[in-house]
Amino acid sequence: MTAKIFRHVLQPQLQHLVSTCLKPLAAGMDGVRPYVVVIFKSRPVRVGHVRKALRDIDEVIRAGDELPVLVGVDFTQEALEIAERSGVKVLEEQHHGWTEERYSEIHTSNASPKKFPPNA
Q: Is 119 a member of any domain?
A: no
pLDDT of 77 reads 96
Alpha-carbon dihedral 79, 75, 53, 8, rounded to 10 degrees: -130
Going edge to edge, which strands form the sheet with 67-72?
3-9, 35-40, 67-72, 89-92
pLDDT band at 111 (very low <50, low <70, confident <90, very high): low
How many domains does the chain contain in total?
1
How many Cβ atoms from other residues are within 10 Å of residue 73's Cβ? Answer: 18
pLDDT digits (tens, 9 = 90+) for 50-107: 999 999 999 999 998 899 999 999 999 999 999 999 999 999 999 888 887 887 787 6
Contact 45, 74 (CB under 8 A): yes
**Nearest one of 55, 54, 91 to 70, comparing CA atoms:** 91
Q: Is 120 a member of any domain?
A: no
Q: Is 35 a member of any domain?
A: yes
Q: Is 28 a member of any domain?
A: yes
For 90, the 3-state DSSP assignment is strand
Q: Is 114 a member of any domain?
A: no
Tell me which residue range forms the domain holding 38: 3-109
Q: Is 86 a member of any domain?
A: yes
DSSP H or E segment with residue 21: none
| Strand bridging mode 35-40 / 3-9 | antiparallel
Q: Is 94 a member of any domain?
A: yes
Q: Is 116 a member of any domain?
A: no
- Can you give the CATH number for the domain in which 101 is found? 3.40.1350
For the entire predicted model, the pTM comes to 0.84
